[in-house]
Chains A and B, each alone.
Chain A
């Protein structure tokens, strides 16, 4: 945590349109600094400037004004800066990073005025079971995709929820590798359905699924659940079946 006394100030010079994974680099840097708990960071747009490319950037020359210099600055303790620099070094592909010693004279933070109390969500914690069902995307039951049939069946049984995931690669009980070929023909990628329910309801669900599956795997584990329910959805949620601590 930053306190009064000696500290380091890091200044990063960039171009406004420097990209980082197709987003702007300065935004990526800000997000990174925020995640890492840096006390504060400021981005300033310059009026004009030039850099290593020896090209003058001014609002007149850059008609769209998207090419102007940008300065990202933050102040942190020396240790924190040492920790952050390697990643920043990696992220700044076009620009300049500078670190200088500085002295923090005052850090003041006014007690934040309590804004309109946010609508509180209700939190319910408890024990439950998680079931993962592994199958292939091409598996069918009476002409419809098996994963569809399973989800419909679970829904009919009033199971709290089910999510279908598609894998990109895998192998299992059938012995063949599920892999997407370029022509999308004979597509049989792995599919996993995750279901969370109370123990009783889950064992009913598992029995039903056992009947429906031709080849596949059912994996059950104990989980702790935390459900967040927003007030406006509370009406529908009160009759949901998951345990309330």
Chain B
């Protein structure tokens, strides 16, 4: 595992109902990451959860208020550049950051310099 590079992993926790200028916050965050050329971002939807308010977030026929986790992996420099922007976009929620080692695999033809 010598070829693994140090990097940062960000996990943002909030709910599906959170919005940013009218569209879902998770979509807005992913778009922002793309705009800022962050290496990648993935959105996961949880089955059930609760946070600060102790209100249980669960799935229902009519309302969608499930927990959302966005995971972002990039170099420390890029993550630090992104952080203040995320802090401003999120009204409430949680940001967790951890140190990780990463390996990017790209074997298909269209090799670009990353």
Query: Which residues of A come within 8 Å of B, CB atoms?
Result: 21-23, 28, 31-32, 35-36, 87, 91, 132, 134, 165-173, 177-178, 190, 192, 203, 206, 210, 213-222
Contact = CB atoms under 8 A, between A and B. Distances in A.
A168 B53 contact: no
Given A21-B65, A203-B1, A219-B100, A167 B105 contact: no
30 contacts: A21-B58, A23-B58, A31-B56, A32-B54, A32-B55, A36-B54, A87-B53, A134-B42, A166-B44, A169-B27, A169-B43, A171-B30, A171-B33, A172-B40, A173-B105, A192-B71, A213-B105, A214-B107, A214-B108, A215-B106, A215-B108, A216-B104, A218-B4, A219-B73, A220-B1, A220-B4, A221-B9, A221-B98, A221-B99, A221-B100
Contacts of B63: 21-22
What are the 7 tightest A-B residue pairs by CB atom distance, in nearest-first order? A172-B40, A170-B42, A35-B54, A22-B60, A169-B43, A221-B100, A167-B42
Nearest to B26: A169
A111 B50 CA distance: 31
A169 B44 CA distance: 7
A91 B108 CA distance: 52
B36 interface: no
Contacts of A36: 54
A207 to B, nearest CB: 8
Contacts of A171: 30, 33-34, 40-41
B108 A172 contact: no
Contacts of B98: 221
Contacts of A206: 1, 103
A219 B102 contact: yes
Interface string B67-90: 000010100000000000000000
A22 B59 CA distance: 9
Given A35-B54, A215-B108, 4 more contacts: A22-B61, A23-B58, A169-B43, A218-B4
A215 B40 contact: no
A218 B7 CA distance: 11
B55 A190 contact: no
Contacts of A190: 42-43
A173 B38 CA distance: 10
A217 B43 contact: no
A22 B98 CA distance: 37
Interface of B: 1, 4, 7, 9, 26-27, 30, 33-34, 39-45, 50, 53-56, 58, 60-63, 65, 71, 73, 98-108
A28 B43 CA distance: 28
Given A214-B108, A221-B98, A87 B55 contact: yes
Contact of B105 (A169, A170, A178, A216): A216
A23 B63 CA distance: 12
Contacts of B41: 170-172
B40 A221 contact: no
A213 B108 CA distance: 10
A225 B15 CA distance: 27
Contacts of A220: 1, 4, 100-102
A91 B33 CA distance: 34
Nearest to B46: A165
Contacts of A216: 104-105
